[in-house]
Structure 1
Amino acid sequence: MLTYLRKLRGAASALPPRATPRQMALAWLGGALAMACVANVGEQLPSGLLLGSFGASCVLVFGYPDLPFSQPRNVIVGHLLSSLVGLLLLHGVGPQWWSLSLAVGSAIALMMLTRSVHPPAGSNPVIIFLAQPSWDFLLFPTLFGALLLVVVALLYNNGTRSTRYPQYW
């Protein structure tokens, strides 16, 4: 028990280095532009495109675009799988606390299995259980919104950085 409690102190590692002012400004602008695109295009559609987890996706794709979690494959497949699992359990079992927990756990496992982990997508089942949408939620906002976010990230990150985005598909 004492060994376990000692683990709670952490590893005493140093904080990661602070981003440069340029990196912060580019991440800020990229996130703002991406959400402006998603929100504006969504206003033209009957169902909209806003999904709370897209804000967290912007943190990754614009703030840390070289991480595996930030790659287009992870963004698109992660959001799609997580929303699919959430919808399957919501409509197949019902809005129970335990079906929500199974949906989140299953989404994590499926993203890991498919090598498409995108942490913000882990909140999609929670969003789905709260909103209780129909099956079209899988296409709008999930798939179409994730695709639009990736398109903006591809254009923006390659236009503002010297390195390539994505690292892989």
Structure 2
Amino acid sequence: MSNQTQTPAPGAQPPAPPPAAPAAAKGGSGAPPFPGTKPAVLGTLATVVSLVVLVALGEATHHLLMIAPLAATAMIVCSTPALPPAQPRNVVLGQLGSGVLGLAAVALFGHSLWVAAIAAGLSVGLMLVLRAVHAPAAATAVLAVLQDPKPVGFLVLLGIGSVLLVLIGLIASKAGVIAKYPTYWW
């Protein structure tokens, strides 16, 4: 073995350094950085306000608007407003499409955990076809199968809740509480 190193020819570029190791290999995490105290606090407060608005309107109208999938939607809109799942198209089409799919599944096959699982899985495919992926909407399909809601009322309330969360995100963005929202409408 030789201890000699090769000298590059005159005018030749030195070899590129090896790529940097990923953060996880350096002992860190591959998770995104903490957004900072102010965005974290404001995003949390915007989420709380969104959910309180859904509860207040639900109480006033004697209809349940604050359902688990919309709670997850509120978090996505208020804490990660620039991501595709937070955009109005994804929120509204994802939720309504999955709601319709869940109702169709229960009409065809009845209520069971098996039907709920299949409806949730199929809702993913539907959202991909609609180009409106919104993860909480898969839970909406499950809810539609297991809770047996009245179809028209369920879809109307789901649509109202989804649109309200988009509007609250827009207001929070205009007020400077959260980052720019939406990045696209449709």
**TM-score where L is the length of structure 2:** 0.79
**TM-score where L is the length of structure 1:** 0.86
1:137 paired with 2:145, answer no
Aligned to 1:23, which of 32, 39, 43? 39
Determine the structure 2 residue equivalent to 1:167.
Answer: 183
Distance between the aligned counterparts of 1:43 and 1:96, measured in 2?
29
- CA RMSD across the alignment: 1.7
Preserved CA contact (<8 Å) 2:97 2:127: yes
Per mean C-alpha deviation after superposition, the further-off stretch among 41-50 and 77-86 is 41-50
| Unaligned 5+ runs, structure 1 | 1-10
1:150 paired with 2:166, answer yes
Preserved CA contact (<8 Å) 2:55 2:64: yes
Determine the structure 2 residue equivalent to 1:33.
Answer: 49
Aligned to 1:94, which of 85, 100, 110? 110
Amino acid at match of 1:137: F
Larger radius of gyration: 2
Aligned to 1:78, which of 85, 88, 94? 94
Provide the aligned length of Structure 1 versus Structure 2. Answer: 158
Preserved CA contact (<8 Å) 2:105 2:145: no
| Unaligned 5+ runs, structure 2 | 1-23
Over the matched positions of the two proteins, sequence identity in percent amounts to 32
Distance between the aligned counterparts of 1:50 and 1:19, measured in 2?
27
Distance 1:23 1:106, change over 3 A: same
Amino acid at match of 2:80: Y
Greater share of residues in helix = 1
Amino acid at match of 1:105: G
Preserved CA contact (<8 Å) 2:105 2:119: yes
Amino acid at match of 1:26: L
Residue 167 of structure 1 aligns to a residue whose secondary structure is coil
**Offset of residue 97 of structure 1:** 3.5
Distance between the aligned counterparts of 1:101 and 1:161, measured in 2?
37
Distance 1:22 1:75, change over 3 A: same
